[in-house]
Structure 1
Amino acid sequence: MHNMIVHQLFKSACVAGFVLARPSLELERRSDNPLAGHGSLRVFDVNNFNSLSTGQAPDMYDIFAAEKDGCFGAIRDHSQCTPKKRNHNIIAQNRMKTSENIMKVPILAGTYAGDQEGSGSQFYTNQLDSLWGLLAATLEYEVYFDDDFDFAKGGKLPGVHGGDRSCSGGYKARGNDCFSTRLMWRENGEGEAYLYLPMALQSDNFCEKCSGYSKGTTCDEMTYCSLNRASFSFIKGQWNKIKMQVWMNTDGNQDGYWNLFHNEKLVMNENSLTYRIDDSVPLSGMFFSTFFGGGSSDYAPDYDTHIDFKGFRLTAGII
């Protein structure tokens, strides 16, 4: 049954124009060393946007098979994701390599939290849902901040999501619904993981690493985890390479993994996470999300700005 599902995903992804590699081993097999020795299936590989012209608005359905629900600031299947927050994403030339096109996400002054017109962009993909029983996935991308970019108080960057699309915006995951693994930049470009997990199911040792809570806050009182703040920094004026590896926990156990690489250096390594209580919450796909915030106006930029992206690759399995 597993091989049939992999074949169906491989066939449908090829039709959509994604670059794929067949898995060499069963993807769901777990071992004593779960981050090595497993097959992988390339779901999408968007190294650049050279198939589009500069000034063109990229269609997220054509490029990433993005769903319409939860979108803003992006085109999905030649229509607006939501009527109140129009597309602002645009194809532009990579100033570091003029032969390459990238995706620019403009952000208007005074906007934050994705709530206003021009505040950024967000969409979801769900290709991994088709791989029933999948335990591991790897997401890679590159992000660029101009030399004069003002990090202000912070903002969001893409990650992986699973289950339904509730795990953002202050939602408290229960373990039978969803999770997400976005990143954040903070003041001066300090980086962190911004994880929406069922916090009541995490270990006390893990919860102690989560910033933004008063001393003595227990796991079951937490909504999300700002993990390992300032463990690395985003660098302005160059491409920042991101790779995150997510390995799901077995039913009800604190044995899930989360690894993060910044510019090919391992900057976070967690091996005792609970993403879910059972496999009713699957690995789903990429959660593209970028805006300033936080949910208050003091996060907003003082002037119009933008964030650039390229090098997107989603893989079923660990690479």
Structure 2
Amino acid sequence: MFRMFGVRQCYRTMSQLRYLLLAAVTLSHFTDGIKLWNSKTPRRNTIWRGNWNMDTSTYRGQESVSAEPNPDGSNYKVSAIFLSQGSYGRNDLFSGAEFYSSPLEPRECLTLSYKVWFDDNFDFAYGGKLPGLYGGGVNCTAGGDPGKDCFTSRFIWRTGGMGGVALFTTSQQTPEFCTTEGVECNDAWGHRLGSGSFQFQTGTWYTIQQTVRLNTPGQADGYVRIVVGGVGKVYDVSNVVIRESSDVKVNGILFSNYFDGTSSCSGSPVDTHVYFRYFALKDNVC
């Protein structure tokens, strides 16, 4: 009896070990980084409260924000941003929303991911902004204070739904950076990274993810990585100067959603919505 118990116990132990090893492999494959923070399903229009730690002084466009049924027909709500016909550049009521959020302690590297859905009638027109990361303080976008040591790295869409990232940061870039494939340097309106490396369509959920790792001050060793839809790396640029001082960290999320532009011809052609859900901050690639 003792021997049989020992054999069975050994078998159970080996089975448990195999299960733990399988679970570890599965977990490492599917978690894709350690999740540090997330915000899943809104229940009311005050969807950015709670654990977002929003800088309320920067919140613009509350009238555009609501919690709406999932456009894919699922039985839970999502965050919706209403963009009225003709709206652009956060110039009027119902022209989109923007705020800064710092739900974590500042750090050297951070990954933001979330899901976005463009309404069936959405017209990409000339382009617009989507949420991204920021660091070194607020008011560091085009039209802000270019003398500050800070950065923003927001997803964008352009004509036809072509995607990329707009990086607004120091102008002290190397010639190698500005000649990198997929980079369009522009100190006034932000450097475009990965332009056309992926394309949005209407009426479907996209999971988009960006990682920002800050450079060593005085060196061009920062990087930005874009991943879309779980298909792996879409774009990666690794010779970026994002900061000039070690005091600048990645602070958190800059939520932006509106049509770009400086005149009505760049505004939304129709009344429409952009939907968001499942924001998460992780430590991917850091």
What TM-score bracket applies, with the shorter chain setting the length? 0.7 to 0.9
1:139, 1:250 → 2: CA distance? 21
User: Any conservation in 1 of the 2:64–2:95 contact (CA below 8 Å)?
Assistant: no
Q: Is residue 251 from structure 1 mapped to residue 224 from structure 2 by the alignment? A: no
184-193 or 222-231, which moves further after superposition?
222-231
Matched with 2:206 is: 240
Give per-residue Cα distances to partners, 1:261-299, cap 9 Å, x unaligned: 011232110111111112111110000000001222221
Of the three residues 34, 59, 67, the one matched with 1:71 is 59
* Corresponding residue for residue 112 of structure 2: 139
Distance (Å, rounded) in 1 between the aligned partners of 2:101 and 2:165: 20
Superposed CA deviations along residues 26-51 of structure 1, whole A, max 9, x for unmatched, are xxxxxxxxxxxxx8561x212222xx
Segment of structure 1 superposing worse, 258-267 or 94-103: 94-103
1:177-197 deviation per Cα after TM superposition (whole angstroms, max 9, x unaligned): 210000111111011111102
Aligned equivalent of 2:249: 282
Separation in 2 of the partners of 1:41 and 1:104? Answer: 24
Looking at structure 2, the residues matched to 223 and 305 of structure 1 have their Cα atoms a distance apart, in angstroms, of 25
Q: Check 1:236–1:170 CA distance in 2 against 1; reply closer, same or farther (3 A cut).
A: same
Closer/same/farther in 2, CA of residues 211 and 295 from structure 1, 3 Å limit: farther
Change (3 A) 1:172 1:272: farther
1:93-242 alignment, distance < 5 Å: 93-128=69-104, 130-131=105-106, 134-171=107-144, 173-174=146-147, 177-199=149-171, 201-208=172-179, 209-211=182-184, 223-242=189-208
What residue is the counterpart of 2:30 in the other structure?
none
Give the whole-Å Cα distance in 1 for the aligned partners of 2:190 and 2:71. Answer: 36
Letter of the aligned partner of 1:245 in structure 2?
A: T
Distance in 1 separating the partners of 2:229 and 2:45: 28
RMSD: 2.2
C-alpha spacing 1:136/1:125, structure 2 compared with 1 (3 Å): same
| Structure 1 segments unaligned to the other structure (5+ residues) | 1-38, 75-86, 214-220
Give the secondary-structure state (helix, strand or coil) at the position aligned to 2:59: coil
Kept in 2, the 8 Å contact 1:47–1:310? The answer is: yes
- Cα distance in 2 for partners of 1:295, 1:260 equals 27
Residues 96-145 of structure 1, C-alpha deviations (whole Å, 9 max, x = no match): 142221011001111100121110011111234x34xx211010001101
Q: Sequence identity, in percent?
A: 29
Distance 1:276 1:212, change over 3 A: closer
TM score, norm. by length of structure 1: 0.73
For residues 219 and 202 of structure 2, the distance between their equivalents in structure 1, rounded to whole angstroms, comes to 39
SS of the residue corresponding to residue 54 of structure 2 reads coil
Q: Is the 1:143–1:239 Cα contact (8 Å) retained in structure 2?
A: yes
Give 2:174's aligned amino acid: S
User: CA separation of 1:259/1:151 partners in 2, compared to 1, >3 Å: closer, same or farther?
Assistant: same
Look up the match of 2:3.
none
Q: Which segment is superposed worse, 94-103 or 114-123?
A: 94-103
Residue 114 of structure 1 aligns to a residue in which SS? coil
Q: Deviations over 1:65-116 (max 9, x none)?
A: 2111221113xxxxxxxxxxxx321111113142221011001111100121
**By how many angstroms is 1:312 displaced?**
0.4
Equivalent residue letter for 2:114: Y
Runs of 4+ in 1 over 3 A off after TM superposition: 170-174, 208-213, 316-319
Higher Rg: 2
Q: How many residues align?
A: 252
1:47 aligned onto 2:20: no
Cα distance, 1:170 vs structure 2: 3.3
Tell me: higher relative CO, structure 1 or 2? Use CA pairs within 8 A at least 6 residues apart: 2
